[in-house]
């Protein structure tokens, strides 16, 4: 059960991929009534039925975090190991603006301590946000995996994200 409702936001119907509809990332679903809701609400795929972005789940996120205003959709993975930030390709730098980027840096500190990752995607291009830097990894395919390992270098520890290519 979500603590909030979507109001006039329909951004996930643009930025997220929907396999059941063969809808790619970053393009409006043909069934979306932009700013209003779903045109096939009663028969929408399960992926749409079960999707709850982080803004819906977290009442402590202010109005500036509503996805249609922020221009990105945040969604934790099912196992909680990744916080995905899927950005509207029409505003690819939206996540770098204040207050978002500094907040992502803060969240990434806690995420790393808990062996989790904060990953920003613009279409299929990934950037891992770390407390001290952002690491752009380029295109990531459906079978690929992003892993962040601790590397000891000159007696100092740093996090090194990379893509493990699937199949």
Report the interface residues with ligand SF4, using CB under 6 A. 6, 9-13, 18, 29, 31-32, 38, 40, 44, 48, 51, 53, 55-56, 67, 73
| Strand pairing report for 125-129 and 82-87 | unpaired
Are 143 and 106 in contact by the 8 Å Cβ rule? The answer is no
Name the residue nearer to ligand SF4 (CB basis): 56 or 140.
Answer: 56
Q: How far is the CB of 60 from ligand SF4 (least distance, A)?
A: 15
How far, in Å, CA of 20 to CA of 17, rounded? Answer: 9
Residue closer to ligand SF4 by CB (options 51, 107) is 51
Return the number of the residue (8 or 166) whose C-beta is nearest ligand SF4: 8
Lookup result for tokens 């291009």: 125
**Residue with smaller CB distance to ligand SF4, 28 or 150:** 28
**Minimum CB distance to ligand SF4, residue 26 (Å):** 12
Q: How far is the CB of 22 from ligand SF4 (least distance, A)?
A: 11
- Shortest Cβ distance from residue 133 to ligand SF4 (Å)? 28
């Amino acid at each position: 059960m979500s603590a909030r409702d979507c109001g006039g936001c329909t951004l996930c119907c643009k930025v997220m991929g929907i396999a059941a509809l063969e809808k790619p990332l970053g393009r409006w679903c043909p069934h979306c009534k932009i700013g209003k809701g779903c045109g096939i609400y009663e028969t929408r795929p399960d992926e749409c039925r079960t999707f709850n972005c982080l803004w819906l789940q977290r009442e402590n996120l202010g109005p500036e975090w509503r996805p249609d205003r922020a221009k990105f959709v945040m969604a934790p993975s099912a196992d909680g190991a990744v916080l995905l930030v899927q950005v509207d390709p029409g505003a690819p730098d939206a996540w770098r603006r204040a207050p978002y980027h500094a907040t992502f840096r803060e969240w990434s500190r806690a995420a790393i301590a808990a062996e989790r990752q904060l990953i920003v995607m613009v279409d299929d291009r990934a950037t891992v946000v770390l407390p001290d830097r952002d690491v752009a990894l380029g295109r990531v395919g459906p079978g690929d995996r992003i892993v962040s390992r601790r590397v000891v270098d000159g007696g100092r520890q740093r996090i090194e994200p990379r893509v493990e290519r699937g199949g």
